[in-house]
Amino acid sequence: MESVLSGLADDRATGALRLGKAGMLYLTGGRVTYAESPAAPRVEDLLTSGRRISAHAVRQARQAATEDRWGGELLVSQGVLTRGELEFCVLSSVLDAVYFLFDATGHRPRFRPGDQHWLGPQWYFDVTGLLRECKRRRAQLNQAWPSAELDALPVVPVGRVTSQRVVLTPLQWEVLVGADSATTPGDLARKLGRPAYSVLLAVRQLAAAGLLRTPQAGSAALPGVLPGALPKREKNGMADLRELSGTTELSTPLPLATADPTDVNLLIRLRDALEALT
């Protein structure tokens, strides 16, 4: 898929690249403007789950969207959203979906020239920049918990915590409260209205802190779970967790962004710098 996408970028193509049931990417002039995957909440899911706008307002904008006036412009002009809120939400949703799309295999790519998402272009992502971000996120997940075994399993909190003190981020708290021992991280993301990648990261961090049930070597494994060893806890007995991406509320004041791809690169560099500080 990467080679196909890079070829479309070189040709400055405009249209939609479908990867079967894995999802779709939309390009404008060779740059990605939107992406969606069943594994990640869509922009409208993030907006409506946070009660920032109603599902009715989203349907109206989608039905009224035309090539002359995209649905995103309608939402902004009607005062339903600020442009910064919309752009930030699209940024989060696209980076989320692309992470899962780039890992999709066994799907034959099909490109439909001219097709565009109903929101219209809000951000412009360079293909090379998206590839770098996906690799960075994969490395970040592996650093938190070097196994993908928990990514598709129900999130099951432990019944008893041995640490004297536990420090959680807001998202990690939401994950623990929302976990019902039957819901997977992907389903939890949709339930909470959070990016799927951010929930995956929180789950792996919680597992590393010993706050989730995980497969252990020599013990009875959960149904469908492969045995594996638990990581060591910190010597001071304290789980000090910090969320590393994707939990900014939409109500946070946001700067106006342009269509320049350097905006995305700058944001990613700023995020890397903040993560390094933690």
Q: Note the pLDDT of residue 220.
A: 36
CB of 277 within 8 A of CB of 116? no
pLDDT of 226 reads: 37
pLDDT of residue 218: 31
Single-letter code of the amino acid located at 196 = A
- What is the distance between the alpha carbons of residues 189 and 195, in angstroms, rounded to a whole number? 6
Contacts 24+ apart (CB under 8 A), 46-49: 46/89, 46/92, 46/93, 46/193, 46/194, 46/195, 46/250, 47/81, 47/89, 47/250, 48/193, 49/190, 49/192, 49/193
Position 45 scores a pLDDT of 87
Nearest to 12 by CA among 32, 33, 34, 30: 30
- Provide the pLDDT for residue 263: 54
The tens place of each residue's pLDDT in the chain, 278 residues long, gives 788 999 999 999 999 999 999 999 999 999 999 999 999 998 888 888 767 788 888 888 889 988 788 999 998 988 888 888 899 889 999 999 999 998 888 888 999 999 999 999 998 999 999 999 999 999 999 999 998 989 999 999 998 888 888 899 999 999 999 999 999 999 999 888 899 999 999 999 999 999 999 876 333 334 333 334 344 444 443 344 333 333 333 333 334 344 444 455 666 666 665 555 54
Give the pLDDT score at 236: 40
Q: Which pLDDT belongs to residue 264?
A: 58
